[in-house]
Each structure stands twice: as structure tokens, then as C-alpha cells.
Structure 1
């Protein structure tokens, strides 16, 4: 029997490959389901500040350090266009402003306003309640480990998605 690269594979190699593919499927489905839960819970929490989950994500990212929309999009794994739409809505609502970027004439920096920081502050009780619930439900160590594993998985997926002719993206 031949493997994905066309070379003959042993029964053990085939079993290992199929197990790895099943793990990938379970991981992807789990992440998609988790994302849905995060969005639903985030929408409920965000309402307290008059925000949406998307606006909370963008506003929270620039509350301390102003950033260009393109950098936000890269950091969040989103398209520049979707972050741009959210940023423009935040500016229209007076929750953020565009400021000059000394490093780039055209790519302005998005920055939270005082009203934007106040809106984020109104989310703090819901955010704290969810964090406490997860720490209690998972246990503090498992909660921290979960964050670390998700960060490593995100880094690995970013590397797999990189345009490397010898990597998994080809």
C-alpha cells in the first residue's frame, strides 16, 4: 500500500498515518466548536459595553498600544478588510481614532479613545466571571496548560500555512 507521498508504507505506518489524520479531524472540529462557543459568550459579554465580539477584539488590541489595521489583522489571523470594517465602525462610534503613524505615512495607527477604554471597562465583570468559571471548571493548572497548548497549536498552524515549498502547505 502506498502512503500520501506515493512510497510504499507498512501496516504500522498506515495505522499511524490514519491515527494522525483522525487526530487532525478531531482537533479541527474541536477548534471550530470552541470558536463558536467563544463567539457566542463573547457577544453576550460585549453587549455590556455596547460592543460586538469583533469590536471588543479590535478595540482591546489597541487599548494599550495603537497599531495599524494590517498588523492587527496579522496578529488576529483575520483579513485586513474585516478588521478595517470593524475599525471604521469603532471610529464612527467615537470609540477609536486614527492617528498619524511615524513609521508609515499611509498606514495610520488605530487607537482607543477614552470612551473606547470605558466601554472595555464595562466588560471587565463578565470577563472576570468567565475567567473564574473556566479556572474553577478546568482547574488553574489545566487552564494555563490549555492556553499554552492553543498557543503552540496556533504557531504550528501558522508555520503550516507559510509559503514553504517543503512544508505542509504545498
Structure 2
């Protein structure tokens, strides 16, 4: 391994950690007026298109199944999500958004659009699209690493 490769890996990781914090701060800022947290928004957003299992949500979000389960339980208690039977797996229920959950997400959209437009204006829409593509490629490359012991 070359020293430059090591420096790039470290720099990429530190930048990603900083970005994670920045995105979480932005998400909390956007979600708070709608009465939800960034984590609630993330889980609800994962099931807006169709109900998903807790494991599928966790894989998509890159967090533990247990963390998603705790959040889904809170969302169900608050009436923002509900559990449906899963035809593919008897014990693994599907998490589905309720009309109340959909309304909470809709309440976020105007401010979300504002901040998206502001970011695109600051960075340039094409450059922002290139950054997203590079981040996806980096994520795919990390998925391909052999992390077995």
C-alpha cells in the first residue's frame, strides 16, 4: 500500500464523517418543524414508496437492524408508521407509512426544496450531481472491500 493511498482513505473517511454530521444537522433543522426527528424522517422516507422490512431499511441506510427496529416501534406508537404482514417472511413484518407519517414528510418538503436549491446555487447543479455520483461510486467501492477477518 502506498502512503498516498493511506492518506486518501483517511481523508475520505474524515470528510465523510464531517459530511454525515453536516447532513444530520441539516436533517434535524428540516425535520423539527414537522414534529419529527432526522432519524424518523430517514425511516419514513425509506418506506414512502412501498413497505419494507426492518432489515431492508437497515441495509439501505447502512445502520443496524436494531436501531431501525427501535425507530420503527416509536413511529408505530406515534401513528406515523404501522406494521403489515410480510408475505415473504412470516416473522419479519413490513414497516409502512401511515397518512399521518406521509403528512409529516410532506410538511418537510417546502424547506427541503429551499435548501436543495440553495445548495445547488452555491455549488452549481452540475457539480453537485458529479459529487453525488462520486459518493455513490465510493460507496460501491467500499461495499466491494473484503472485510473478513
Q: CA deviation at 1:75?
A: 1.0
Partner of 2:61: 76
Larger radius of gyration: 1
> Displaced runs of 4+ in structure 1, greater than 2 A?
167-170
| Whole-angstrom distance in 2 between the partners of 1:169 and 1:149 | 25
Partner of 2:73: 88
Indicate yes or no: 2:140 matched with 1:155: yes
TM-score (norm 2): 0.96
Give the paired residue count. Answer: 149
Indicate yes or no: 2:112 matched with 1:127: yes
Partner of 2:5: 20
Which structure has more helix as a fraction of its residues? 2
Relative contact order, higher structure (CA 8 A, sep 6+): 2
TM-score (norm 1): 0.84
The runs of 5 or more residues in structure 2 that have no matched partner are none
The runs of 5 or more residues in structure 1 that have no matched partner are 5-16, 161-166
CA RMSD for the aligned pairs?
1.2
Q: CA deviation at 1:155?
A: 1.0
